[in-house]
């Protein structure tokens, strides 16, 4: 062991080695920095030798030098690689929260890149030659698409809910049905957000039934908001009853001193119900009914970036814009660019809808998916004989805490590898392919749903599978 330790070359010798000089050039790294990484590798090797766990080349031999610089190269790759990486979503879950939810349209991506690489008129009015508002870049589009009098953007929908409650109902009462006190991702609860905002929660009704008279009996001079929370991430069925939005709006119109506010959560601008998909309310319909304020997410059914969109009556939006929290919760130029690009696709109508990946993926026909899957299987088996493959009927999910009751008919490619279990195959596809491929496991099969795989990504999936 001591002999091995003495046989390890000195740092200055290794610094003159061709491998060291090559790594300097390949990684665009300075000499002292690479030397520090080299010293770390040498320390790791010494520790392994002392623990009798060094299973590579014997120190003092060419094999040892190769292994040492291989370790150094791997350390550099890990150090200078992005941790936020592209993956291929083959799960069939369209708004997969763990995989980043909505993909952006080509137009939105191009607008983000242009905005990020250049100066912009983020808060500058080009016509007047004076300071402008960042809200102006998307407000008109939101007004046109929803029918709202005014709108503003914050960094997510939870922030939108918090701002509305803080600005409109601090130290006053907000009436909410007990059955709508939902918990969203990461254990964040509407009731907790309300408590932090300074609003006073008034629960009415029961978990499964709330009547109009429950709201009427709860109204006091301290009431600031009647709030409805769209239960987009769960569904209560059976012996249930809830109060329709129009009834609550009428109740607020018949009384002075408080408003009606609906947190729509997922925020659909496209009418999925007309396509036979779910029962998600369209934002425009709620605004047209007379809602004073609505809030919804940008990166769920809307198919844009993470953002919280607040739309409604102008006098209320103006009040929110002037609140001190508006600056705390404001979005950056890249979010605005992504949202503007997405909203412009909506503004184009039917043609633009097909540019939005979320809508496009949800509307893929079963015939198209079967055609793609059959071609995928044929091409895969041309490249490898390591798999047994079946084509199964199955379902895709919308995901992202939206449309929990909706499943979309799909075709599943079921794979069994000759040497690896489904769990082992899934791990290898996650860790040994570039980009990583994320699929589903069902019993002893690895499943691929092409609904969420771009056609341009299919060959990458085939190459990844063929490499195992």
Residue 238: per-residue pLDDT? 52
- DSSP-assigned beta bridge partners for residue 388: 416
- Cα–Cα distance measured from residue 360 to residue 102, given in angstroms and rounded to the nearest whole number: 11
* pLDDT class of 193 with cuts at 50, 70, 90: confident
Q: What is the mean pLDDT of residues 171-198?
A: 80
Q: Which residues neighbour 75 within 8 Å (Cβ) at sequence distance 6 or greater? A: 37, 40, 41
pLDDT in tens, 289-305: 999 999 999 999 999 99
In the chain, how long is the greatest CA-to-CA distance? 92
Residue 236: per-residue pLDDT? 59
- For the entire predicted model, the pTM comes to 0.89
Residue 185 has pLDDT above 60, yes or no: no
Of residues 335, 336, 321, the one with CA closest to residue 164:
321
pLDDT in tens, 75-106: 999 999 999 999 999 999 999 999 999 999 99
* pLDDT class of 266 with cuts at 50, 70, 90: confident
Residue 234 has pLDDT above 60, yes or no: no
Q: Which residues neighbour 29 within 8 Å (Cβ) at sequence distance 6 or greater? A: 23, 76, 80
Radius of gyration, alpha carbons of the chain = 28
- Cα–Cα distance measured from residue 264 to residue 286, given in angstroms and rounded to the nearest whole number: 9
Residue 403: per-residue pLDDT? 86
Of residues 96, 69, 56, the one with CA closest to residue 438:
96
Residue 237 has pLDDT above 60, yes or no: no
**Backbone dihedral angles phi then psi of residue 293, each to the nearest 5 degrees:** -145, 145
Of residues 250, 287, 249, the one with CA closest to residue 268:
287
Q: Which residues neighbour 180 within 8 Å (Cβ) at sequence distance 6 or greater? A: 190, 228, 229, 230, 231
């Amino acid at each position: 062991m001591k002999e091995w330790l003495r046989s390890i070359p000195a740092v200055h010798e290794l610094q003159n080695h061709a491998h060291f000089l090559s790594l300097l050039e390949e990684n665009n790294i300075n000499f002292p920095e690479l030397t520090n990484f080299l010293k770390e590798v040498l320390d790791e090797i010494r520790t392994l030798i002392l623990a009798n766990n060094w299973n590579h080349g014997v120190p003092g031999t060419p094999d040892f030098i190769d292994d040492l610089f291989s370790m150094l190269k791997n350390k550099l790759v890990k150090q200078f690689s992005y941790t936020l990486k592209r993956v291929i979503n083959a799960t069939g879950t369209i708004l997969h929260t763990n995989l980043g939810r909505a993909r952006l349209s080509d137009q939105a991506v191009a607008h983000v890149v242009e905005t990020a690489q250049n100066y912009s008129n983020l808060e500058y009015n080009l016509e007047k030659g004076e300071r402008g508002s960042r809200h102006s870049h998307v407000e008109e589009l939101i007004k046109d698409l929803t029918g709202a009098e005014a709108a503003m953007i914050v960094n997510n929908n939870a922030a939108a809910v918090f701002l509305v409650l803080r600005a409109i109902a601090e130290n006053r009462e907000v009436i909410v049905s007990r059955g709508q006190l939902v918990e969203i991702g990461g254990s964040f609860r509407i009731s907790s957000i309300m408590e932090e905002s300074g609003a006073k929660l008034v629960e009415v009704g029961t978990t499964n039934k709330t009547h109009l008279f429950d709201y009427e009996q709860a109204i006091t001079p301290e009431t600031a908001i009647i709030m409805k929370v769209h239960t987009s991430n769960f569904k209560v069925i059976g012996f249930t009853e809830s109060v329709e939005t129009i009834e609550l709006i009428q109740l607020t119109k018949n009384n002075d001193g408080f408003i009606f506010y609906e947190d729509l959560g997922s925020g659909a601008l496209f009418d999925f119900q007309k396509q036979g998909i779910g029962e998600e309310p369209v934002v425009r319909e709620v605004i047209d009914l007379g809602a004073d304020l609505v809030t919804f997410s940008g990166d769920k059914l809307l198919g844009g970036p993470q953002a919280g969109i607040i739309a409604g009556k102008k006098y209320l939006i103006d009040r929110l814009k002037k609140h001190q929290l508006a600056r705390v919760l404001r979005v950056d130029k890249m979010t605005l660019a992504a949202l503007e690009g997405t909203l412009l696709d909506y503004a184009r109508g039917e043609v633009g809808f097909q540019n939005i990946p979320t809508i496009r993926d949800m509307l893929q026909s079963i015939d198209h998916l079967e055609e793609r899957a059959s071609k995928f299987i044929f091409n895969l088996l041309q490249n490898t004989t390591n798999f047994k493959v079946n084509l199964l009927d199955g379902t895709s999910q919308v995901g992202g805490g939206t449309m929990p009751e909706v499943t979309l008919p799909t075709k599943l490619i079921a794979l069994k590898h000759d040497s690896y279990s489904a769990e082992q195959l899934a791990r290898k596809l996650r860790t040994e392919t570039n980009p990583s491929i994320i699929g589903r496991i069902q019993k002893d099969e690895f499943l691929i749903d092409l609904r969420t795989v771009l056609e341009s990504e299919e060959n990458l999936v085939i190459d990844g599978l063929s490499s195992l």
